[in-house]
Structures are given as C-alpha cells and as structure tokens.
Amino acid sequence: MNKVKPNDPCWCGSGKKYKKCHLPKDRVASFKAKTVERPKNQVKPGLISSKLTVPEHIVRTDYAQTGRPSRTSGFSKPKGDELVRMREACLAARRVLDLTCAAARIGMKSDELDRIAHDAIIAEGAYPSCLNYHNYPKTICTSVNEVICHGIPDDRTLKDGDIVNVDVTLYKNGFHGDCSKMVLIGEVDEVSRNLVKVTEECLYKGIAQVRPGNMLSEVGRAIEKHAVPAGFSVVRAFVGHGIGTHFHMEPQVAHYFDASQKVRLEEGMIFTVEPMINIGDWQHRMWNDKWTAVTTDLQRSAQFEHTILVRADGPEILTVAEGESATELTPKGVICAGR
C-alpha cells in the first residue's frame, strides 16, 4: 500500500481526509517508535543443524522430497469428511504448539524447541509442513525479538527478556493446520509485554470481521485501527493465507487496510489470520538465509496466528486449544472450534 498523503482519504475509512483524522496520532506513534530505546538481546544468525528425519509410515507432502510444492488456485472450502480432517489437523497443530511453547525457557536453544515440535508432530501421525517447503531446513519457525517471521531454529539460546514466536504447521490426513503464538522468556520489559498484548488483541479484532458477505479488507482495517493508535505499526510484506490440502492457497490476507482486497467472504472458506506488529517501523529486511525477516530498525516484532473457518454465524477458530473458553479469549460473535 502506498504512503497515505495528508489530503488523501484516511486509511481508517472514516471518510475524512488523513490530515483531519489519523495523521496527528500516526505522527505521535512514529515519534514514539523512533525514540524507544533499543531492547537488549538482539539476534544474530546461529549454526543450523541438519534436517530431522521423518519415519517412513508418515504420509508426506508433495514437496517433502523435491522442496517444490505443487501449484494450486482457488479457495480452501472443505466439506463433510474433508472438513472433519481439516479440524483434526488444526487441533493437532495447536497441541504441538502448546507443548513446544511450554518447554521454552532461559538457556534453551531454539533448535531444541524444533526437536520437541518435530517429535510431537510425528507422535500425532503428521508431517511437519515447513520441513523442506521451498527447501526450508527445519520443522518450525522460531522468531525471536526483532525477527518478524520465518526465523530458523539454530544454536542460539533463549535469553532472559527475549520474546519468541513459535509457528507450527503440520500435515495430517491430507490437510494442513497452522497456528502460532508468543512466549515471554524470563523478565520481559514493559514495552515488549505491551507489544505482545496488543498483537494478540489485533488477532481477535481481525478475526471478529470474518463473516459471510464482509470484505476481506475489513480484517486488515480492524487490525490496523487497533495497532496504530497503540503506537505500533503493522507489517505489510507478509500476510495470512488460505490453507487446506495445500500449505498456501487463496486468499492472501493483508493485516493492514488494503482497499484493493476485493474478496467478499463466503461460508466455508478457510484461511489464517496472523498479524505481525512492530514497535517501530513496519518495514523489513532479509537475512542472507533468504528466510529470516527482521525489522529494519531492529525494534521488536510480535505475531499470533489462528486458522479460521467462515461460518454462517461467524468465524470459527479451528486452532483453538482444547478446553479453552470462547468467551474468555475472543470478542463477542467469534466461535471456538468444538463449541
């Protein structure tokens, strides 16, 4: 999305000019971001161990050997038994995510988290969706501090004050389930804790817009309207995506307001909502590994992700943890799977 000029319509959809609406607040947020002291524990590339192996009895993805996923078009709209299998894959992914996050502690290598997740995915009878996807070398993504997404688990140890996103996707019974959440390591500074809090709120603000007939762009609008006034920025280069028999399908889900997103949501669609929110600027740069995306100003970033089903009565979260209460976690009108 191009930079909004003062006389352009405001990004929030109020109908007012940007200079008469959000420009003053955005300038304050930008100034705050530039003056925030850089947090400790900045991340450097570490040593990456060999890919873990998958037992022969596990059904593999089409790219498990070649690293090249087959192309697909259209939306994910499984029905009947296919939807049952999609639900199972999503719940399995969430079980693995929770198990992995619970193990995170000061002094643990992110590579150890990868091993824990890998073993748990195999125990679920599933294949790690990330493994060898476009030659990605590990089972999960671990994005620490200023890493926005796609951080590769390595020999760096988690340090007191770190924040880390753990992203788990698995392939089970012909379908992918995808989810992620943040973990606070030790004593985390107030700004970072607030970032994590606001990012999770953004997730559910976006999910609440998922209903038949609504424009997909309303998901991003709701996220941006919550993040920017809180003094944060929304990453634009990485988006949510349709998911089902393929890891990535249509639609692409922007987490900022993008008026060009003309998709109108239909009952039965399945996709992820996964906002990435930064303390400072929304822009990114890539490490030489061609996967790890970090903030350009090295300010911290946070992310949460759910896989969502569009139902007639509203959004259903397929990757909710078993036993979680919908009323405790989500805005009114959002449904948790199995409820």
Q: Which residues, including other chains, have CB under 8 Å from residue 55's CB and lie 6 or more apart?
A: 122
pLDDT at 3: 57
pLDDT at 207: 98
When divided into structural domains, the chain yields a total of 1
pLDDT at 7: 80
Q: What is the pLDDT of residues 182-197, one digit of tens each?
A: 999 999 999 999 999 9
Task: Give the DSSP letter of residue 28.
Answer: H
pLDDT at 38: 59
Q: What CATH number should be reported for the domain holding residue 188?
A: 3.90.230.10
Q: Are 282 and 4 in contact (CB under 8 A)?
A: no
Band of residue 172 on the pLDDT scale cut at 50, 70, 90: very high
What pairs with residue 286 in β-bridges? Answer: 293
Band of residue 302 on the pLDDT scale cut at 50, 70, 90: very high
Band of residue 92 on the pLDDT scale cut at 50, 70, 90: very high
Q: How far apart are CA 290 and CA 152, in angstroms?
A: 10
Identify the domain containing residue 296 by its residue range: 45-65+78-336
Please tell me the pTM assigned to this model: 0.87
Q: Which tops the pLDDT comparison, 88 or 16?
A: 88
pLDDT at 251: 95
Of the candidates 306, 307, 305, 135, the residue with the CA atom closest to the CA atom of residue 235: 305
Q: Which residues, including other chains, have CB under 8 Å from residue 65's CB and lie 6 or more apart?
A: 132
Q: Is residue 211 part of a domain?
A: yes
pLDDT at 331: 47
Q: Is residue 23 part of a domain?
A: no
Dig out the tokens for 309 from the structure: 């089903």
Band of residue 81 on the pLDDT scale cut at 50, 70, 90: very high
The alpha-carbon radius of gyration of the chain (Å, integer) is 19
Q: Is residue 22 part of a domain?
A: no
Task: Give the residue-averaged pLDDT of 276-294.
Answer: 97
| Mean pLDDT score of the chain | 90
Distance of CA 83 to CAs 15, 168, 230, 320, Å?
40, 20, 37, 16
Residue type, 275: P
Q: How far apart are CA 251 and CA 127, in angstroms?
A: 24
pLDDT at 37: 59
Evaluate if residue 325 carries a pLDDT over 90.
no
Provide the 10 A C-beta neighbour count for residue 248. Answer: 20
Strand order in the sheet with 249-253: 249-253, 240-242, 270-273, 306-311, 314-317, 335-336
Q: Is residue 25 part of a domain?
A: no
Residue type, 140: I
Q: How far apart are CA 97 and CA 176, in angstroms?
A: 14
Q: How far apart are CA 46 and CA 48, in angstroms?
A: 6
Residues above pLDDT 90, as percent of the chain: 80
pLDDT at 180: 98
Evaluate if residue 9 carries a pLDDT over 50.
yes
Q: Which tops the pLDDT comparison, 38 or 127?
A: 127
Band of residue 146 on the pLDDT scale cut at 50, 70, 90: very high
Distance of CA 10 to CAs 54, 206, 225, 236, Å?
50, 19, 11, 17
172 membership: H or E segment, kind and range: strand 163-172
Q: Is residue 29 part of a domain?
A: no
Omega before residue 251 within 30° of 0, cis? yes
pLDDT at 257: 96
Distance of CA 57 to CAs 53, 123, 150, 221, 258, Å?
12, 12, 28, 44, 44
Evaluate if residue 2 carries a pLDDT over 50.
no
Q: Is residue 3 part of a domain?
A: no
Evaluate if residue 102 carries a pLDDT over 70.
yes
Dig out the tokens for 117 from the structure: 């997740």
Give the 3-state secondary structure of residue 2: coil
Range in 38-52, 206-220, 244-258, 297-311 the model is least confident about = 38-52
pLDDT at 1: 35
Dig out the tokens for 122 from the structure: 């195999």
Q: Is residue 37 part of a domain?
A: no
Q: Give me the torsion for CA of 226, 228, 229, 230, rounded to 10°.
A: 80
First vs last C-alpha separation in the chain = 37
Q: Is residue 321 part of a domain?
A: yes
Q: What is the pLDDT of residues 246-273, one digit of tens each?
A: 999 999 999 999 998 899 999 999 999 9
